[in-house]
A and B are shown apart, each in its own frame.
Chain A
Amino acid sequence: MQIKRKTNFENFKVAKKLSPEALIKKVEKSGLMGRGGANFPTGLKWKMSRPAKYLICNADESEPGRFKDKFVLDNNPEIVIEGINIAMYALSTKQCFFYLREEFKKYKEKLEKIIKEKSKYKITIVIGAGSYICGEETAILNSIEGKRAETRHKPPYPSERGLYDEKTCVNNIETLARIPLIFEDDFDNELTLFSVSGDVQSPGVYEERQGITLKYLAEKVGAIDPYAIFFGASGGCIPFQQDLILSYKEMEKTGNFFQTGIMFFNNEKSVPDICRSIIQFFNEENCGKCLPCREGNFRLLQLFQVILKRKWTKEEFQIIQDLIDFVPNGSQCGLGKSSTIALKSAIKYFKNEFDKLIE
């Protein structure tokens, strides 16, 4: 795995020989995309944010089925710190905030030791307090400022007005970990960490190129009778197809949103039941700012709890279908917009399972 490669800050020394502008051009040319989920070109983000006052390393990973940030922190935190150093040099930033989710607080000591020994810049570790929405790039700003974990309106984007109203660049931890690798000869911008879990023989994190087929991945992880594939909680779902290509472009055609947290389920599992747990997740984790997301997800959960006792009436199922469009249209942030993707594609692709639950 490239991401596990040991580093002695050699690449930072190479990077410092370039001017910040040339360095940003190099990153742009490398074709590296943000690994947080939105797939935004990293070089472009840097260009827009420069000169940034703050850099934020986002390690507030709470998406179900995704555990790659923990993998990076476990295996190679040095490369992240090196990536942060390169980024701070390129962005002419003096201060970086390393935002860890509450469950990752055990890594704080380890990181502080590396920062003290190797980092040339000031990196402050901030620990969250248990909020999924803080992974969003504007909610993380509010959280560091000590405000409610709620998203802000975009625009202005953090690159214009971010933390404490200053220009800020927010990058995912995996993106920053890949920055030093740009200087290596065998750099490949398609390499991504896939987190695989569910009914497979060897769940875990795999580094593969984007564009591999589902069959390849299923064989590699030893999937047992794969039936339904869910892409995190917010990515959508699809019946197992051998030739499905795992990349952002191809996934959009299926009406889903590509997430690198891939959950395999076998045919003993009921798709509506998995949907119920996903709705429960969004019901608990939404910040409560926008009414459609807060009340819509709550109503959906109520409706899904009905099927534990009896079948849906036709009217109830109609309400579910209405809410699927209503919630994303009325919500401000990515959480609200993606909270019903899984349900929408589940009804599209597994209609027969839902039909059985209607009177």
Chain B
Amino acid sequence: MLKYSYKINFMKFLLEYLQKIQNKNGFISESDILEASKQFQLSPAEIFETISSYEKFNLWTTSEKVIKICDSPICHSKGGENLIKLAEKLLNTKIGTYNKKFIIESCQCLGECDKGPVMTINDELFTNLNEEKLKQIFKDQKLI
């Protein structure tokens, strides 16, 4: 059966609430979780349960620029994997390694397969990438 606490929070969406915090601070802290648990009358564990199942929520601070390069089938076949390697080389880092300025991540389909390979830097989309274009974008974003 459905839990009572979920029912009374109807029309007050936990996801929306968490998204606001995430957008404001870039991550959701322990005190935010405790605050949410008070507001929604759920245990902190239940709030954590939700946070941990969605990719967009972070529990720690992230870098200023999050570079996500798509590696799902179309982008992969058009050289997405090589672009990740090139990005690693250009920025002298490894994929998934935290750095105050930037972090490179591989991500799954962004729904832009007709314009692949694609990547996003903090929600800004870049399409039809190639090695030259990647270098140029990094220069424009003052990453190199």
Contact = CB atoms under 8 A, between A and B. Distances in A.
Interface of A: 61-67, 69-70, 101-104, 126-132, 143-150, 164-165, 195-198, 203-205, 230, 233, 261, 263, 265, 269, 273-274, 277-278, 280-281, 284-285, 287-288
Nearest to A230: B73
A130 B50 contact: no
B116 A197 contact: yes
The range of chain B's interface size is 35 or more
B77 interface: yes
Contact of B113 (A101, A263, A265, A277): A263
Contacts of B73: 64-65, 230, 233, 263, 274, 277-278, 281
A198 B15 contact: no
A146 B15 contact: yes
Contacts of B9: 146
Nearest to A232: B73
Contact of B114 (A147, A197, A284, A288): A197
A233 B74 CA distance: 10
Interface of B: 1-2, 6-7, 9-10, 13-16, 18-19, 40, 49-50, 52-57, 71-74, 76-77, 108-116
A288 B49 CA distance: 12
B6 A67 contact: no
A67 B111 contact: yes
Contacts of B109: 62-65, 132, 233, 281
A150 B53 contact: yes
A263 B72 CA distance: 12
A220 to B, nearest CB: 14
Nearest to A146: B14
Contact of A127 (B16, B57, B74, B77): B16
Given A129-B18, A132-B108, A164-B6, A273 B40 contact: no
